[in-house]
Amino acid sequence: LVLWSGVKRENILRYHLDFNGAPNYWDRYRLRIPKKKLELGVAQFSISYPDYYDGKFDVDKIEVRVDGKSLPVSEVVWDKENYSIQIYMEEAVPANENVELVFSNVKNPDGGTYYFVCYVLAPGDIPLPSYVGTWIMSIGR
């Protein structure tokens, strides 16, 4: 089944905006990945977003949480030219765990709908990202 979004229902990921997604205001994004989507461990998360997203991220305030506990991240890279964020883990996130990517101190963009697409790389993987799913985020709606 494909909804109007063009994303298959089973690939739509859940998210929560702590401060209600008001356009051009500060917020915290909680991007959730269910354990059924992570059959292998994860060494790197790669999140792409559309070129019309004009919000701002604070790479020092991005966390990876499992069961509410923050895991050590070795580096977060915001590639503004390619509209992506790379999160490199110090140690791989174990397989079959519910994961929450927490982006704090985000400056929301103008109102609209934004597709954030998640890929992961397993530890020791040939650098070939695996598609996990898409967060269809609504700001100001």
pLDDT 10s digits, 80-105:
999 999 999 999 999 999 999 999 99
> pTM score, two decimals?
0.94
Which residues, in sequence order, are CB contacts of 117 under 8 Å at separation 6+? 47, 48, 49, 131, 133, 134
- The per-residue pLDDT for 103 is 99
Q: How far apart are CA 41 and CA 100, in angstroms?
A: 14
Q: How many Å from the N-terminal Cα to the C-terminal Cα in the chain?
A: 24
CA quadruple 18, 122, 58, 64: dihedral sign: positive
The domains found in the chain, sorted by start residue, are: 12-139 (2.60.40.1290)
Tokens of 26: 């500060």
- The per-residue pLDDT for 126 is 72
Question: Which stretches within 7-47 are classed as H helix?
Answer: none
Render each residue's pLDDT in the chain as its tens digit; 141 residues.
444 678 999 999 999 999 999 999 999 999 999 999 999 999 999 999 999 999 999 999 999 999 999 999 999 999 999 999 999 999 999 999 999 999 999 999 999 999 999 999 999 867 788 999 999 999 997
Q: How far apart are CA 87 and CA 76, in angstroms?
A: 5
- The per-residue pLDDT for 128 is 81
Q: Which residue has the tokens 């883990």?
A: 89
C-alpha 114: how far from chain center:
12
